[in-house]
Amino acid sequence: MIHQNLSIDLLIDKALERKEVIQSKSGALVTYTGRYTGRSPRDRFIVDSPVVHDKINWGKVNVPISKDSYDKLYKKISSFFDSEKEVFVVDAQVGADKKNSINLRVYCQYAHQAIFVTHLFRRLNVGANFNSPEKFIPDLTLYCAPSVVADPKTDGTNSEAFVILNFEEKKIIIGGTKYLGEIKKSVFSYMNYILPQKQVFPMHCSANVDSTGKTSALFFGLSGTGKTTLSADPKRQLIGDDEHGWSENGVFNFEGGCYAKCINIKKESEPQIWAAIHKNGALLENVVLKPDGDFDFDDDKFTENTRGAYPLDFIKNSVPSGIGKKPKYVIFLTADAEGLLPPVSHLNLNQAAYHFLSGYTSKLAGTERGITKPIPTFSAYFGGPFMPLMPMVYLNLLKKYLMKYDAKTYLVNTGWIGGAYGVGKRISIADTRNIITAILTGQLDEVKCRHDKIFNLFVPIKVPGVDEKILDPSLSWSDKNLYNENAKKLAKLFTENIKKFPDVLQSIIDSGPKL
């Protein structure tokens, strides 16, 4: 039986009836994903074909798979859905800007997957296509069946799990993993393939707008850097928390919901997200429940990558249209677990290009399988795993829009201070929020800066509400010589990483760290 476009209430009933989820004390649902509690990069593939071959930036991230291997797995997954007693289908829209949106159809094995899809993507207008599936023509079709597993010996995969994007046929198949983030990120990857070909800049960022609706801000960053937390600001309106496009018309959200990290969340520091994940209908992933049915957000029993999915309207001051004005401020977020980068730096155009290509952060525990402690990583465009095209395509779009609209760019470190992970402590959310507020209110536009000679950054000397001592990380280390030694090691990692991009202008290379 096919259940198509069921209401959230009916999907909740189904998920509970089928024992896919547990209902918490607050009414929010909890599901557990078993072995796969994060993305599985080694199991993601792109179907190689003459149509797409020369467009894709093939490598460790964008790994090719043959059409024959794809066809075998597509046959497995389509046969599975043909034989299932219950199938959940969701029709949705990806992209708030109608000129740059697509119609998405998702076939789900589980009811809770359909809840996730309904929360995360943009709902169709009731009375139009929503209740008339025969009139809905999908631009992209996704099949997700965790019970369908691959055989690496015959299917050309690395394990039983697979996430395969077929750009030419406009299909995505996912099997062997219950982790819901694979659905979200594979659709994001598809948008990152098609939009640049329309001169629209796809971005792994959150976005919000001031109370007047006139000034937008973008927050780029990898998982764990603070995109969701920092964009959920009670004083501003939330456009979206993770995936956006920037066109001549402004900024638009790809999604209709949020997928927030829950580990160690506190009501006092993140009140909006706290309230959202406690609402009836929110779907939490791998969060520990206490005997009384309440959440234990500090327990990482299953993973540090605990998540909460909820629709955007669970945030009171969200922007229903998902569209904002052209950005005035662009913020690159990094969570430096080495405790070396300053909490805030002003970037000129060449520096912005350098750090956009670098995409430095520390990969935090749990966001990918096998990551148990922070490690330095470089992910181009602050979203390399989801960007299939050539690097210069995305870099040229960034430069085009920054120059055309004179957007000011900052690098903000939300990581550690006073030493590396295990010695120092993480910069407080309060301090980071004060830094963000100072940026967005224009207080750092013309402020006096010092020049960090190792990282070649311009660092504000004063930020309202922030202790001046933390603005220079070397002052918080007990051994300054050790700080300098480690800073040079990190600078060397930057200089080695930028060599991956041979087409980059020398003026951009010269804007990075110096040895």
Distance CA 353, CA 399 (A): 7
Query: Does a structural domain hold residue 235?
Result: yes
Handedness of CA 423, 425, 426, 427 (dihedral sign): negative
One domain for residues 430 and 300: no
Q: Which of 198, 217, 238 is the last residue of a domain?
A: 198
29 within a domain of the structure (yes/no): no
H or E element at residue 432? helix 429-440
Tokens 């660092």 belong to residue: 459
Neighbours of 4 (CB within 10 A): 16
Domain count, the chain: 3
Q: Distances in Å between the alpha carbon of 274 and those of 169, 195, 232, 310, 450?
A: 40, 33, 11, 11, 38
Do 234 and 357 share a domain, yes or no? yes
Residue 384 located in a structural domain: yes
Phi, psi of 56 (to 5 degrees): -85, 140
Predicted local confidence at residue 224, as pLDDT: 83
Domain boundary among 297, 314, 331: 314
Residue 326 within any structural domain of the chain? yes
Tell me whether residue 133 is in a domain. yes
Distances (CA, A) of 18 to 10, 86, 110, 309: 12, 11, 9, 20
What DSSP letter does each residue of 54-86 carry, written as one string?
TTB-BTTTB-EE-HHHHHHHHHHHHHHHHH-S-
Q: What is the DSSP letter of 148?
A: -
Q: Which of 299, 314, 329 is the last residue of a domain?
A: 314
Tell me what pLDDT residue 223 has. 81
CATH number, domain containing residue 235? 3.90.228.20
d(Cα 392, Cα 81) in Å, to the nearest integer? 40
Report the alpha-carbon distance of residue 201 to residue 482 in Å, rounded. 41
Active site residues per annotation: 39, 185, 204, 223, 227-228, 242, 307
pLDDT for the residue 130? 46
Residues 378 and 486 in one domain: yes
The pLDDT, as a whole number, for residue 514 is 87
Asked whether 165 and 172 are in contact (CB, 8 A), the reply is yes
- Same domain, residue pair 285 and 391: no
CATH number of the domain where residue 275 is located: 2.170.8.10
Per-residue tens of pLDDT for the chain, all 515 residues: 899 999 999 999 999 999 999 999 999 999 999 999 999 999 999 999 999 999 999 999 999 999 999 999 999 999 999 998 999 999 999 999 999 999 999 999 999 999 999 999 999 863 334 445 568 999 999 999 999 999 999 999 999 999 999 999 999 999 999 999 999 999 999 999 999 999 999 999 999 999 888 889 999 998 889 998 999 888 999 999 999 999 998 999 999 999 999 999 999 989 999 999 999 999 999 999 999 999 999 999 999 999 999 999 999 999 999 999 999 999 999 999 999 999 999 999 999 999 999 999 987 655 555 555 778 999 999 999 999 999 999 999 999 999 999 999 999 999 999 999 889 999 999 999 999 999 999 999 999 999 999 999 999 999 999 999 899 999 999 999 999 999 999 999 999 999 999 989 999 999 999 88
Please state the φ and ψ torsions of residue 272, each to the nearest 5 degrees: -70, -45
Please tell me whether residues 165 and 207 are part of one structural domain. Answer: no
- Residues 342, 431 within the same domain: yes
3-class secondary structure, 430: helix
Q: Is 268 helix (H, G, I), strand (E, B) or coil?
A: coil
Q: Could you write out the DSSP letters of every residue in 103-125?
A: EEEEEESSHHHHHHHHHHSBPPP
- Same-domain pairing of 100 and 215: no
What is the distance between the alpha carbons of residues 231 and 266, in angstroms, rounded to a whole number? 16
Q: What is the CATH number of the domain that holds 48?
A: 3.40.449.10
pLDDT at 129: 40
Same domain (yes/no): 241, 344: yes
Of 408, 382, 378, 409, residue with least CA distance to 394: 382
Q: What is residue 126's predicted lDDT score, i.e. its pLDDT?
A: 39
Torsion of CA 58, 75, 368, 141, to 10 degrees: 80
Cβ neighbors of 468 (< 8 A, separation 6 or more) are 461, 462
Q: Is residue 212 in some structural domain?
A: yes
Which residues make beta-bridge pairs with 30? 22, 284
Phi first, then psi, for residue 87 (nearest 5°) are -130, 140
30 within some domain? no
Residue 342 is assigned to a structural domain of this protein: yes
For the chain, how many residues are written? 515
Residues 285 and 366 in one domain: no
Residues 405, 309 share a domain: no
**Are 309 and 409 within one domain?**
no
If asked whether residues 337 and 227 sit together in one domain, one would say yes
The pTM score is 0.92
Quote the tokens at residue 311: 């629709």
Separation of alpha carbons 378 and 381, rounded Å: 9
Q: Give the domain range for residue 309.
A: 259-314
Q: Which residue has the tokens 């405790």?
A: 339
